[in-house]
Amino acid sequence: MAYPEGLLGEDEHVIVHKHPHWKMLVLPVLILFVVVGGGSYLAALAAATGWRMIAWVGLAVVGAVLIIWFTLAPLVRWRTTHFVVTTHRLMVREGVFTRSGIDIPMSRINSVRFRHGLLDRLVGCGTLIVESASDEPLEFDDIPNVEQVHTLLYREVNDDPRDDWDWEER
């Protein structure tokens, strides 16, 4: 899904558009399996009782609340979080009901670093650290292909139009 072009400037183009890495959804999916499995087991135990309908309704309500809170909410949060690098700025947008965002102009970015441990390297993500004119560096966690994003962002920050080689003129 491309970032909405209507939110960009006239001569601004999207270079990178990412959602957080899928690893942040592993725990919510495991919780889904535990809730469904545990609820099914408890429903089977309640089937032999005289109050099984009340137990099934109670299990369904508790299960639905747990699935909505611990699985659907993180999934929607993941889907509505955007990390976007354009030709003019770095943008991060997150939130479902209350949206928040940060825009950093390329001219204000001083340095770009990344960090990823063994698990992050195995699944292909990491933390991008951007130092700008603000007091402390901004860290963006769970960026997929963080090394490639780091390289692209570094190139955009240090891109000097005078350095471009125009093959047609030469």
In whole angstroms, what is the distance from residue 151 CA to residue 156 CA?
A: 9
Confidence of residue 3 (pLDDT cuts 50, 70, 90): low
pLDDT one-digit tens code per residue, 45-82: 999 888 989 999 999 999 999 999 999 999 999 999 99
**pTM score:** 0.78
Shortest CA distance to 86 belongs to which of 22, 141, 11?
A: 11
- Compute the mean pLDDT over every residue in the chain, rounded to the nearest whole number: 87
* pLDDT surpasses 70 at 164: no
Alpha helices in the chain, H assignment, sequence order: 26-46, 52-67, 73-79, 118-123, 146-157
- Band of residue 2 on the pLDDT scale cut at 50, 70, 90: low
Given phi > 0 = left and psi -120 to 50 = alpha, else beta, which region is 79? Answer: alpha
pLDDT tens, 110-151? Answer: 889 999 999 999 999 999 999 987 778 889 999 999 999 999
pLDDT (0 to 100) of residue 125 = 94
Q: How far apart are CA 67 and CA 40, in angstroms?
A: 14
